[in-house]
Structure 1
Amino acid sequence: MKVYSIELCPRAPIDRDDPVLWPLGRDEEPLHPALPRLRYRLPVPPSSQVAVVMAIQQQVPHLWFGETEREAGYMGVPDRKGHRERVRGSSRR
């Protein structure tokens, strides 16, 4: 079964420990040299893949980088241990 995701690569630095978004954060080699290492990875159900691609291409075509096939297991998991260590003792709410 194929797995799909949308990779969001903000131009500004992201807070890898954002209280809401941190589970979506990934720090990996960029798919293109102009893209940042830190990005958000949003899973897309296979049944919605075509609709999501069409919506992005219609609404923000200048942000569409394209599709790429990745190795099995590429979705990865959030850095739970690193997140706990980075926010330990902080006053984040």
Structure 2
Amino acid sequence: MGRVAEEIDRRIRAALSPDRLEIVDDSSKHAGHAGHRGDDAESHFTVRLTSAAFTGQNRLARQRAVYTALGDLIAPDRIHALSIEARAPGES
């Protein structure tokens, strides 16, 4: 796991106490696309998580909670693209 992925992990765990957290660096799939810097920089991610914090929240509220947790990492020079799969316990 690279430095940006490690920071994503740290921030989400601190803010949302997930039961399950998976972070996938998709950056290499975006070579030549907008936001890809052409080096080994981490810029595109998929985050899958399950957290009791999402119970009773709709999809938009869950995504906002993740974006809030990540704060200044969400910027074109850090995380350019983020796919979020956020669930409450018991959801499939």
Q: Which has the larger radius of gyration?
A: 1
- TM range, normalised to the smaller chain? under 0.3
Larger relative strand fraction: 2
Larger relative helix fraction: 2
Please, what TM-score do these two structures have when normalized by structure 2?
A: 0.27
Please, what TM-score do these two structures have when normalized by structure 1?
A: 0.27
